[in-house]
Chain A
Amino acid sequence: MNTILRPQRWDSPFDDELGEEQVASILSLPAFLDIDSTRFPAQIPLAGIIANDVRLVCFHRGDVVVREGDYGNSAFLVVEGSVCVVLTPGIPASVLGRTLTKRRGFFSALAQLWKNRNDVPEVRHLKESDGTKAGSANAKATRVDMEQVAATQTTVQLEAGQIFGEIAAIARSPRTATILAAADATLLEIRWQGLRELRRYDTGWRERIDTAYRANALKRHLMEDSLFAQLSADELDKVAAATLFETYGSLDWNVQFKREQQSGTAKETPIVTEGDYPDGLLMIRGGFAKVTRRIGYGERVLTYLSAGSVFGLGEFYRIWKGDADVAMRSSLSPLGYVDVLRVPYFVLEKYVFPHLAEEPEDHLQTAFDRPLTADSLLKWAVDHRFINGTKSMVIDLDRCVRCDDCVSACASTHGGNPRFVRHGKEHDHWMVANACMHCIDPVCMIGCPTGAIHREEATGMVVINDETCIGCQTCANACPYDNIRMVEINSSDDTSIFDSESGIPLMKATKCDFCYDQPGGPACVRACAHDAIMRTSIVELAQIAEVR
């Protein structure tokens, strides 16, 4: 019988060379001094988190620490030196030297023909974890000219003791700014899993992370919105001070969603109800919300809003133009979880409307005027939360001949076992198959104890590091779409591999990785001879559906 020890959470520390002395020295940093270590559970001690989920990284002046747009799975604490956040106008991508995904070469791809055995799927070599790291920021290779940055960019300096990178780590979103080492600096990089535990068990860290998250996110978001693009830094500060940061729902919204799916009932508390008096312009910062309007005895879904959308601008514009009797014409409800910025009317009156050349277009009325059945696809996608997907596998059933060439192609590029099931929810002639959708908000990452499931840095694809996956099923249970499967792993002689202690077969989580390392893109799409498969978002699908 083939047996190995069941992989454990800290089999692969973030830094193999972090010794006891360094752990003690990290624990003596002001940021960790006040932590009450007794609040941490015995199986996740504070010292364990420091020994396994952090690493010290040294940067020289001008080194790129994180790049705007990259996907990060860690936050940073400045230990020594300083870093600067590049605000505007931003450093061109060509200067930043973005990391590229390593793809297989032609012959390496071809070799899968005999290396991936179809007769014995999910073959793993009998060895313990080799210590491969989960995705982490490692942008040190690139250095920029700091004199030029100082001359051309607006920056904000962060000194020792300050934390950054927590937005991308907590919200599972791209880095919102490029950060450079302003001087030679030592940073403590904290893996997202460690950050989560610190936030969970220490009140001080929770406040520190949440405050930094809210403050940084708020300003950054205001700056990025075209409504406030013409404002000076002072004016922006005033707008930020007057703006409220609100959160509706929970970051792990998937739990409630799954419950609702099973019970068939959805409980929604609107943020804004149709007919209410307008109370601040709402700007969506993260998550999703749906816009509905009453029709007959029900609510018609007009659209859904995601990061960067605003709600209520038209109503406030009419008030500003002198219309006294203005009420909200639609309702806004959170879809699981949504971060909202509420901008008061006086801010709009003073800083926004005087600069607007014309009345904002009323897209909602246009949506409402469409035939009643025109938005059934959108309603279906919203009800099933398919709006979360960026690369959903959508199959046009009117073209699909059910040949399963897509499934075979997937298996031949993934160890003889396909990473999706050609089955799923259907609407009209569209099927969203059970394949990872590489979500905007990948909730599957929330509970992963090792960081095995992470975003690929350059493309943002959600991938699983097979070496560090311990088969705990947390991601599979968390995925609201049942797109992650647990598979028993085998040795090359076609026998299962068992845990040497319990005798239970070892499992690994598997899912579609969008063939991120394959030359030529996703094999399923290339294999379809009938152009029936698309990897797309719902917005793009709605456009395609209008044509087909």
Chain B
Amino acid sequence: MNKGNTLRVALRAGFGVVAVGLAAAVVWLDQRQRLTLERAEIDSGWILLCAIIFLALFNVRKKLSMIPAGRNSDWLAGHIGVGTIVVVIYAVHVRDPWPSGYEFVMALLFYVVMLSGICGYILQRVLPRAMTNVRNEFIWERIPLELATMREEAESLVMECARDTGSDVLPRLYREDLEWFFRKPRFVFASILHAEASSSWARQRFGGVESYLSAGELDYFERLRSMSYVKGDIDRAFAVQGLLKVWLLVHVPATYAFLALVVWHVILIHVYLV
């Protein structure tokens, strides 16, 4: 490990210790204030707000990639660490897991943000390896183009086969099954759980007609079958990459909604209670 990495690991560890210490301090302060009949929620609330703002700053940091404000990986480590202690501070702050009124919506949004964050973390740790095992690497934005190109190639291959051999077996297979298969990503949910879901479907279709083909058609058949396996890889890439993006579509908007309610909450507390 080089010097820079050692420093980063040390900083992360130090940050973790501070975060845990902060959480412990909040718990201790809350206990003490409650025993002395003070309004413990005020202090823990402010600390919670600071921590939540820190968590939200990670998204701002991502947008400001041009400034030297540390690596995003360090920010993510901080995001996860502070996110964990925020759950503890939140529990201390609210006491009641399902409050009433607008606070119920706040609590609901908090749980959505928390759970989507946990899910996102797990997905980001697990799914990259699943994608590495796919034979081909596909860029998300290029998938529609890849599919369109593949579809064109498949169609011209089938037409060529019909012209050259005079047989309609492959064109019929294409019309009845493969046209649907090549049109857009298929087996999205199945592909997340089972890497070969899409390819298995194609293998079954191809296996069913292989015995009807003449020697002249076999070459076209094999080329089409190879394309179907690449299509299987595209389906897998689409499903997994889509999942890696979609959790953020829950996490980030829910965070903004939660922050809006937090602002409302702070105003109400300071108008009516403090």
Chains A and B belong together in one complex: yes
- Set of chain B residues within 8 Å of A423, measured between Cβ atoms: 137, 139
- A402 engages B244 (CB within 8 Å): yes
A518 CB-CB contact with B under 8 Å: yes
**A463-489 at interface with B (beta carbon < 8 Å):** none
- B76 engages A530 (CB within 8 Å): yes
| Known pairs A109-B67, A109-B68, A530-B73; A422 contacts B244 (CB<8 A) | no
- B68 engages A413 (CB within 8 Å): no
B71 CB-CB contact with A under 8 Å: yes
Cross-interface CB contact of B75 among A106, A110, A404, A529, cutoff 8 Å: A529
Cross-interface CB contact of A106 among B68, B72, B124, B137, cutoff 8 Å: B68
- Set of chain B residues within 8 Å of A408, measured between Cβ atoms: 65
- B66 engages A403 (CB within 8 Å): no
- A401 engages B137 (CB within 8 Å): no
- A113 engages B64 (CB within 8 Å): yes
B127 CB-CB contact with A under 8 Å: yes
A502 to B52 Cα, complex, angstroms:
58
Nearest Cβ in chain A — how far from B164, in angstroms?
28
Nearest A residue to B5 via CB reads A531
B255 CB-CB contact with A under 8 Å: no
B131 CB-CB contact with A under 8 Å: yes
- B244 engages A401 (CB within 8 Å): yes
- Set of chain A residues within 8 Å of B67, measured between Cβ atoms: 106, 109-110, 519-520
Nearest Cβ in chain B — how far from A490, in angstroms?
21
From B67, B69, B124, B241, residue with most partner A Cβ within 10 Å = B67
Nearest A residue to B124 via CB reads A401
B140 CB-CB contact with A under 8 Å: yes
B129 CB-CB contact with A under 8 Å: yes
| Known pairs A397-B131, A397-B132; A528 contacts B62 (CB<8 A) | no
**A504-548 at interface with B (beta carbon < 8 Å):** 518-520, 523, 525-532
Nearest B residue to A107 via CB reads B67
- A526 engages B139 (CB within 8 Å): no
- A518 engages B66 (CB within 8 Å): yes
- A412 engages B132 (CB within 8 Å): no
- A527 engages B244 (CB within 8 Å): no
| Known pairs A106-B67, A109-B67; A526 contacts B72 (CB<8 A) | yes
B128 CB-CB contact with A under 8 Å: yes
- Set of chain B residues within 8 Å of A519, measured between Cβ atoms: 67-68
- A110 engages B76 (CB within 8 Å): no
- B76 engages A405 (CB within 8 Å): no
- Set of chain A residues within 8 Å of B70, measured between Cβ atoms: 526
A239 CB-CB contact with B under 8 Å: no
| Known pairs A397-B132, A528-B72, A531-B73; A409 contacts B65 (CB<8 A) | yes
Cross-interface CB contact of A529 among B76, B132, B140, B241, cutoff 8 Å: B76
- A401 engages B65 (CB within 8 Å): no
Cross-interface CB contact of A413 among B65, B75, B124, B137, cutoff 8 Å: B65
* Mask of A385-407 contacts with B, CB within 8 angstroms, 1/0: 00000000000011111111100
A523 to B72 Cα, complex, angstroms:
10
A224 CB-CB contact with B under 8 Å: no
**A103-127 at interface with B (beta carbon < 8 Å):** 106, 109-110, 112-113
From B63, B127, B137, residue with most partner A Cβ within 10 Å = B137
From A403, A404, A525, residue with most partner B Cβ within 10 Å = A403
A431 to B131 Cα, complex, angstroms:
13
A525 to B65 Cα, complex, angstroms:
10
A220 CB-CB contact with B under 8 Å: no
Cross-interface CB contact of B139 among A113, A422, A530, cutoff 8 Å: A422
Nearest Cβ in chain B — how far from A71, in angstroms?
24
- Set of chain A residues within 8 Å of B131, measured between Cβ atoms: 397, 402
* Mask of B239-269 contacts with A, CB within 8 angstroms, 1/0: 0010011000000000000000000000000
Nearest Cβ in chain B — how far from A301, in angstroms?
24
* Mask of A290-323 contacts with B, CB within 8 angstroms, 1/0: 0000000000000000000000000000000000
- Set of chain A residues within 8 Å of B140, measured between Cβ atoms: 402, 404
Nearest Cβ in chain B — how far from A234, in angstroms?
43
- B139 engages A412 (CB within 8 Å): no
A531 to B63 Cα, complex, angstroms:
18
Nearest A residue to B70 via CB reads A526
Cross-interface CB contact of B137 among A110, A412, A426, cutoff 8 Å: A426
Nearest B residue to A108 via CB reads B66
A429 CB-CB contact with B under 8 Å: yes
A39 to B128 Cα, complex, angstroms:
60
A426 to B132 Cα, complex, angstroms:
10
A-B contact pairs, 20 of them (CB 8 A): A113-B66, A397-B137, A400-B128, A401-B124, A401-B127, A401-B244, A402-B131, A409-B65, A413-B66, A422-B139, A429-B129, A429-B132, A519-B67, A520-B69, A523-B65, A527-B62, A529-B72, A529-B76, A531-B73, A532-B128
A contact set with B: CB distance below 8 Å: 106, 109-110, 112-113, 397-405, 408-409, 412-413, 422-423, 426, 429, 431, 518-520, 523, 525-532
B contact set with A: CB distance below 8 Å: 62-73, 75-76, 124, 127-129, 131-132, 137, 139-140, 241, 244-245
Query: Which 8 interchain pairs have the tightest Cβ spacing?
Result: A520-B68, A409-B65, A529-B72, A529-B76, A397-B132, A519-B68, A531-B73, A112-B66
